[in-house]
Structure 1
Amino acid sequence: MLNLSIVLEDSARHVPDRTALVFGDLRLPYSMVDTVANQVANLLVARGVGKGDKVALMCPNVPYFPFVYFGILKAGATVVPLNVLLQPREIAYHLDDSDAKALFCFEGTAELPMGARGREAFDATGGCELFLVLPATPLATESEHGESFWAAIDGMSGDFETVQTAPDDTAAILYTSGTTGQPKGAELSHVNLLINTMVSDQMFPADPAGDVSLAVLPLFHSFGQISVMSVTMRRRGTLVLMPRFDPGEALALMRKEKVTMFAGVPTMYWGMLSKIHADGDEVPTTLKVAVSGAAACPVEVIKDFETTFGVAILEGYGLSETSPAASFNQLSRPTKPGTIGFPIWGVEMKLVDDDWNTILGEGPGEIAVRGHNIMKGYYGRPKETEEVLRDGWFRTGDIATRDEDGYYAIFDRSKDMIIRGGFNIYPRELEEVLITHPAVSLVAVVGVPNDSHGEEVKAYVIPAPGATVSEDELVAWCKENMAAYKYPRIVEFRDTLPMTATGKILKRELR
């Protein structure tokens, strides 16, 4: 018997009265979160949803997410978390592809009408039988989009005996963003997610009084779901829920709730630092652990954060397919800024070439990972699974180097690599140089089609506040600081860059 819901149940048993969730003025203790999750499990069983069934959840960072997530797991079913920005056609695709039997959908807002979109998708899908609305108004028992969550769980018992699941049973299907073709669902078992939660938790000393974690990374994404929600609940901490990242509001919440742990993507760190330097915002003083992942964090941002906050950003690396953590700058050894550290406990990493041959020395090569964290495969896609899994090794699509101490440094996504006139150019390397220019606040480098060279190097730049630099001046500066074949020939200034819901820069939209 092994069920990921133990991370909530164990804490509810040991610290029932401790605050599990903070959302605005709401403070909910562990006992209540567990009780509502039990009601969700009872509801699912009553409606014929059970072991092995798939249940989709489309919900931002509000208390409903853990209620429903753990309720689905307790019922022995599989959670299929969906990106809250999906349009009806995309939602329908995910419901069909995952064979979802039910959909829990947040009502949303006028700007983001999730309820209407979810309903439209549900009506267009044959196999999905149950649609439940998570109302935006607390405790509302009616919704124009369908049956309300609160009406449905009314009268359901708050006790539930968690369904026995085997370690290898599927706990969650996490859809990867689909940079190539349609999104694919990575099937992750209870043992994948539970061991990853435990190992991630043990990397950082816990605060005996209870850690406070700011949950602004989307919980539908593996980084927010496991590294933030599950880890915080396992260490009996408090989760401060923030549905949308805003640098000023995040800093205010950190100060107000005395946040000790923060996990974010590089653009979030950049946003908070910009807010402090430009507007003189007060620096929170309680932060003890700062973790960055999802994309490489510019070394300049790491240095600035440590100077400003007095806390080092620990960079890690992982993917949905690796549950998610695979490597980390861990406290047992010195931190090396600009690297993703070394493999976490129980995980091996190596560099391989296109034919799976192991690359010795420092590389570069493609990262391959093996261990307790590797997914079972892509749901319903044996061919795609076979392409990335061999002898337990998973190939990631990320190009890295490895130093003599075994620390890995991401060079780039293999698909972000630019080939200009036969030369391989890694955008990350150029971005690291460009961000050191005083007039550059944030930058993304991409390859754009070019008749003579195949691809040309282009930099999209958000200028630093009050900075004045022309395109020609910046190109000339790059020419002085980078090899002739790789410096950007084109610079475009922007106020913003397109980003995913997790705050990753969307390079495919810039190409």
Structure 2
Amino acid sequence: MLNLSILLEDSARNRPDDTAIVFGDMRLPYSMVDTVANQVANLLVSRGIRKGDKVALACPNVPYFPFVYFGILKAGATVVPLNVLLKSREIAYHLDDSDAKALICFEGTPELPLGERGKEGFEAAQGCEHFIVLPATALAVESEYGESIWAALDGMSGQFETVQTAPDDTAVILYTSGTTGQPKGAELSHQNMLVNALTCDKMFPRTEGGDVYLAVLPLFHSFGQTVVQNTGFLRGSPVVLMPRFEPGEALEIMAKEGVTFLAAVPTMYWGLLTKIHAEGVTAPTSLRIAVSGGSGAPIETLNDFEKTFGFGILEGYGLSETSPVASFNQIGRVTKPGTIGTPIWGVEMKLIDTDWNTVEGEGPGEIAIRGHNIMKGYYNRPEATAEVVKDGWFRSGDIGTRDADGYYSIFDRAKDMIIRGGFNVYPREVEEVLMSHPAVSLVAVVGIAHDSHGEEVKAYVIPAKDASVTEDELIAWAKENMAAYKYPRVVEFRESLPMTISGKILKRELR
């Protein structure tokens, strides 16, 4: 018997009155979150949801997310978290692909009409039987889109005996962003997810007097789910929910709630630092641990953070397929900014070539990972699974190097690599150089089609405040500072860059 819901149940047993969720002025204790999750489990069972059934959850970072997430797990079912930006056609695809029996969907807002899209997606899906709405107004028993969760929970018991699940039963199906073809669902077991949370807890020292987690990364994404929600609940800490990242608001909340632990992606750190410097905002003094993943943080951002906050960001690495954490710059060892550190406890990493042969020494090579964190496979896709998993090793699609101390660095996504005139150009390397120019605030480098070279290097740049450099001047400077085949021949200034909801730059929209 092993069920991921133990993370909530244990804290509810041991510290029932301690705060689990902070949302605006709302403070919800562990006992209450557990009781509502029990009601959700009773509701699902009453609607015919059985062990092993899939239940989709489309919800931003609001208290409903943990209520429903843990309720689904308690019922012995599998959670299928959906990105809240999906359109109705995409929602239908995910419901069909995962064989979801039910969709529990946030009503949304005028800016984000999730309820409307969810209902359309549900109606277009083949086998999905139940649609339950999470109303935007607290405790509302009616919704124009369908049955409200509060009406459905009326009369449901707050007691529930968690369904016994085996360590290898699927707890969560996380859909990978689908940069190649249709999104695929990575099946993660109760053991995958639980051991990853336990390892994160062991890796990051606890703050004397207790920790406070800021959940600004989307909880439907593996990073926010494991490193923030699940590890926070494991510790019995308050988890402060922020539905969308806004630098000024995040800084205010961190100061007000005494946040000690922040997990974010590099663009969020860039946003916080830009706000602090532009408006003279004081950096929150309560913060003790700052971790970054999702993509490589520019060295400039890492240095700026350390100067501003008095301690460094710990960079790590992982994928949906690895539950997600695979490696980290770990406390107690030397931190090497710009690297993704060393494999976490119980995990091995190596570099391989395209034929799975081990690459010795520094590399470069594709990063392969083996350990307790590797997914069971892609749901209903044995061929796709066989392409990326062999003898327990998972090939990541990321090109990396390894130094003499065993620290890995990501060069780039294999698919982001630019091949210009037969030379391999790694966008990350070009971005690092451009970020060192004082007039550059943020940059994304992509390959664009070129008649004679195959691909040409192009940089999209957000200029620094009051910068006076021209596009041609920046190209000339890059030419001075990079090999002839690497420097961008095209620079385009932008006020903003397209990003995913989790703050990763969407390079495919720039190509």
TM-score range, shorter chain: over 0.9
Within 1, Cα distance between the matches of 2:423 and 2:207? 50
- Give 2:112's aligned residue: 112
Q: Tell me the distance in 2 between the aligned counterparts of 1:454 and 1:466.
A: 36
1:440–1:462: 8 Å Cα contact kept in structure 2?
yes
2 CA distance for matches of 1:208 and 1:313?
20
Deviations 1:319-341 (A, max 9, x none): 00000000000012110000000
- What residue in structure 2 maps to residue 400 of structure 1? 400
SS at match of 1:234: helix
Contact 2:324–2:373 under 8 Å retained in 1? yes
Aligned partner of 2:410 in structure 1 is 410
- TM-superposed CA distance for 1:208, in Å, is 4.3
**RMSD (CA atoms):** 0.5
Q: Could you report, residue by residue, the CA deviation over 1:378-404 in whole angstroms, capped at 9, with x for unpaired residues?
A: 000010000000000000000000000
Which residue of 2 is the match for residue 66 of structure 1?
66
Q: Deviations over 1:308-363 (max 9, x none)?
A: 01121000000000000000000121100000000000000000000000000000
- Residues 287, 311 of structure 1: 8 Å contact kept: no
Name 2:442's counterpart in structure 1: 442
- For 2:485, the equivalent position in structure 1 comes to 485
Given the two structures, how large is their TM-score scaled by the length of structure 1? 1.00
Cα shift readout 1:288-321 (whole Å, capped 9, x = no counterpart): 0000000000011001001101121000000000
Q: Is 1:9 matched with 2:9?
A: yes
- Are residues 1:176 and 2:179 paired? no
> Which residue does the alignment assign to 2:365?
365
Give the structure 1 partner of residue 326 of structure 2.
326
Task: Report what 2:54 is aligned to.
Answer: 54
* TM-score, length basis structure 2: 1.00
Query: What do the CA deviations read for 1:400-437 (whole angstroms, capped 9, x no partner)?
Result: 00000000000000000000000000000010010010
Match of 1:26? Answer: 26
User: After the TM superposition, which parts of structure 1 deviate over 6 Å for at least 4 consecutive aligned residues?
Assistant: none
Distance, in Å, in 2 between the alignment partners of 1:339 and 1:12 is 38
Paired amino acid for 2:314: L
Is residue 417–residue 425 contact of structure 2 (8 Å, CA) maintained in 1? Answer: yes
Matches of 1:139 and 1:69 in 2, distance apart? 18
**SS of residue in 1 equivalent to 2:117:** helix
After the TM superposition, which residues 269-280 of structure 1 pair with which residues of structure 2 at under 5 Å, given as runs? 269-280=269-280
Q: Does 2:380 match 1:385? A: no
CA distance in 2, matches of 1:125, 1:398: 34
Aligned residue number for residue 188 of structure 2: 188
**Number of residue-to-residue matches in the alignment:** 511
Q: How much does 1:209 deviate?
A: 2.6
C-alpha distance in structure 2 between counterparts of 1:310 and 1:158, whole Å:
46
Q: Partners in 2 of 1:475 and 1:207 — Cα distance?
A: 47
For 1:197, the aligned partner's letter is A
- In structure 2, how many angstroms separate the alpha carbons of the residues matched to 1:245 and 1:491? 28
By how many angstroms is 1:207 displaced?
2.5
User: Which letter maps to 2:6?
Assistant: I
Question: How far 1:280 moved relative to its partner?
Answer: 1.0
Distance between the aligned counterparts of 1:331 and 1:308, measured in 2?
A: 20
- The corresponding residue for 1:233 is 233
Question: Which segments of 5 or more consecutive residues in structure 1 lack a partner in the other structure?
Answer: none
Name structure 2 gaps, 5 residues minimum: none
AA aligned to 2:220 is: F
| Alignment pair present for 1:431 and 2:413 | no
For 1:264, give the aligned amino acid.
Answer: A
Shift of 1:210: 2.2
How many Å separate the matches in 1 of 2:221 and 2:387?
23
Instruction: Provide the rounded CA distance (Å) in 2 between the counterparts of 1:408 and 1:163.
Output: 40
Partner of 1:500: 500
Kept after mapping to 1: 8 A contact 2:207/2:288: no
Distance (Å, rounded) in 1 between the aligned partners of 2:254 and 2:310 = 15
Does residue 1:420 correspond to 2:427, yes or no? no
How far apart are the structure 1 equivalents of 2:33 and 2:206?
22
Q: What displacement does 1:249 show?
A: 0.4
Deviation at 1:283, TM superposition (A): 1.0
2: CA distance, partners of 1:152 / 1:251: 37
SS of 2:297's partner is coil
Q: Which amino acid in the other structure matches residue 15 of structure 1? A: R
| Partners of 1:330 and 1:154 in 2: CA distance | 47
- For residues 397 and 2 of structure 2, what CA distance do their matches in structure 1 show? 31
Q: CA separation in 1, counterparts of 2:303 and 2:404? A: 23
In 1, distance between residues paired with 2:56 and 2:388? Answer: 25
CA contact (8 A) 2:322 2:374 kept: yes
TM-superposed deviation, 1:126 = 2.2
Cα distance in 2 for partners of 1:120, 1:413 equals: 35
> 1:459–1:492: 8 Å Cα contact kept in structure 2?
yes
The percent identity for this pair of structures is 76
SS in structure 2 at match of 1:455: strand
